Chain A
Amino acid sequence: MIADIIINIVYGFVLLILSLLSILGTPTLPAGLLTSLDSIGGTLKTVENILPIATILVILVADLAIELAIFSYRAIKWTYTKVPGIN
């Protein structure tokens, strides 16, 4: 019950911020970038005998996720401090 309340407050707060950000529109990356990611696998495979491509990709994705988390945290923290009455 207590955990539900806390989590729902956090969820609501995050959702509120995301709703405000949604006025910026939908993020669309250049089609070429996504296409290149789609087709790069075949090229990377050629050097997989020598380089641990799968490991590199996993680390890249993990790093990206962590950076996104840090970025999100800072964005939400910044917004949180803008709430009147909160320092």
Chain B
Amino acid sequence: MVYKTLYGLIFALLTVVPVIAHAEIYRDLSFIPQYDNIKFDIGGSDINNNSCPGSPVTYFLDSNGYRVLSWQSTLGTTVRSNALQCDRNPIALELVDIAPFYNSSTRIYHYYSDTGSGGSITTVYEDINGTVVYGTNFPIATSTTFIDSSGVKMSRFTVNADSYSGLEYAIRGYKLGNRQSTYALIVTNENLDYIDTLSELYALIDSLSGSEIPGQGNTQISYTTNTRFTGLDITGTSSVAISAGHFLDSTEIDSTVPALNPTIVRYSYANRNDDSGNFSNVGEVISPYTLDDISTTTTVLNASFLDDGVYDLAVGFYNNNAVFSGVVPFPDSYIYSSFEIASGTLIAVGTPEFYSASETENPRYLDCSITNITNCFINALTFVFIPSDNTLNRFLSLRNTLENTIPFGYFIQVYDGILGINLDESDYLIENMPFQDTIFTPLKTGIATGLWVIFAFILYRRFKSLEF
């Protein structure tokens, strides 16, 4: 029994998870334009980042005859002072636009920082006309935190091989050749933050030159968060009370970095007749700060101060320490609704629309109350038998460890190598073969079908002969 469970888990880990992971990467980065303007070789053995001389756009030959791109670490932190595992293969930089962190409502990537210094980052966002803008450098504080694709927050200084899966989705960056695990992240126009997950090393490439190809900035990878809004009530007449229920998931709230968590529920409203773009904000502090349960905040508006008309209302999370306007925690979780004021009185309320990545995709816990005991039982069973995302995500990071361990690493390197074979380009392509449609295409289909049948048969025999 133990063996079978072990085998099932290992099988899933080594086959299904990597395949899904690769599918994710390929699916979401498939639109990315090739960027081969910059090509460089990193050769030879490991290079200590403090000893690489010269400018990155120049090369020198190492003792093996490989061209070496020189680079240096300028941020020199604990993590970044490690050497970069150099690659013997020529590496083409491919500009990638990692869009999951782009949010269409806030028009900015999910990047957080408090005040401070210690470098800069190019934050990529769209302006009001939908034009991709980058080159705006914000300071990176020591408490800078990125949020990965599953919503997990990570400090700049805790970025490591285990967090690459988040970082590779985090911001625009360069994917290096066909090495799916190696990414260079844009820091400034001239600097790249470089992460190599094969070697678990992390460094900064300085003064890289070359022009950038603008990214598309319009493809999103949805990720789920359980932190969300759960209800909205708008009541009253001359005094309009707006109450929003919310749920803060303890696994998504990083209590060690309070500046990054929701501390305020912000109610924003604007009169549709007002074309100036102005809107009003009221923030209600979340207090008490209850986790893993539904809580409510309420704000009260005096309708006599409001002009007549229909008001659009957006309710979202905010942080009272947020330093960038528009950057909010859990921006995918918000409520939209409307209400109408006439002669200083609330006369109509719109149907609220709840937006949450998790609400429709993967609600972990259902609303539980005395009138809905069934959901409480379901929640109890969920708590007991459904593993948390954090637990499952640890297995994704285990792949990196496997990758660096003999003998598994050999398998994985060949596996990655085969996956990286590019069939799109050839200098010797035969474009139009005679009888292609009548003979060769059906023949090819037949061979493919036969191969799958043979593979299934071999697989059956293989598993049949296994001893558990």
Contacts and interface: CB of A to CB of B under 8 A. Distances in A.
A68 B14 contact: yes
B282 interface: no
B15 A66 contact: yes
Contact of A50 (B199, B392, B422, B440): B440
Interface string A20-43: 011011110101011101101111
B360 interface: no
B447 A49 contact: no
A15 B399 CA distance: 11
B464 interface: no
Contacts, number: 193
B88 interface: yes
B418 A61 contact: yes
A23 to B, nearest CB: 9
Contacts of B413: 27, 29, 34
* B contact face: mostly helix, strand, loop, or mixed: helix
Nearest to B419: A61
A41 B448 contact: no
Contact of A60 (B10, B18, B418, B452): B418
Interface string A51-85: 11111110111111111111111001100100000
Contacts of B433: 49-50
B400 to A, nearest CB: 10
Contact of A8 (B5, B391, B410, B418): B391
B408 A4 contact: no
B391 A7 contact: yes
Interface stretch (B150-158, B222-230, B242-250, B382-390): B382-390
Nearest to A50: B440
B9 interface: yes
Interface string B338-363: 00000000000000000000000000
Given A27-B406, A27-B410, A37-B417, A1 B15 contact: no
A41 B387 contact: no
Nearest to A36: B417
A16 B7 CA distance: 17
A2 B391 contact: no
Which of A15, A25, A53, A65 is most buried by chain B, counting CB atoms within 10 A of its CB?
A65
A72 B168 CA distance: 27
B387 A73 contact: no
Contacts of A37: 414, 417-418, 420-421
A29 B407 CA distance: 11
Interface stretch (B55-63, B120-128, B213-221, B423-431): B423-431
Nearest to B402: A18
24 contacts: A1-B383, A4-B391, A7-B395, A8-B394, A10-B6, A11-B394, A21-B406, A26-B406, A33-B417, A37-B417, A38-B177, A38-B421, A41-B421, A42-B425, A44-B423, A45-B429, A50-B433, A52-B445, A53-B423, A59-B452, A65-B15, A65-B415, A66-B11, A69-B11
Interface of B: 2-3, 5-7, 9-11, 13-15, 18-19, 88-89, 177-178, 199, 383-388, 391-392, 394-395, 398, 401-402, 404-415, 417-430, 433, 436, 440, 443-445, 447-448, 451-452, 455, 458-459, 462, 466
7 smallest CB-CB distances across A and B, nearest first, come from A27-B409, A45-B426, A37-B417, A52-B448, A41-B422, A3-B387, A24-B406
Given A8-B394, A65-B19, 16 more contacts: A1-B383, A10-B6, A27-B406, A29-B414, A37-B417, A38-B89, A44-B421, A45-B429, A52-B445, A52-B448, A53-B423, A66-B15, A69-B7, A69-B13, A73-B11, A77-B3
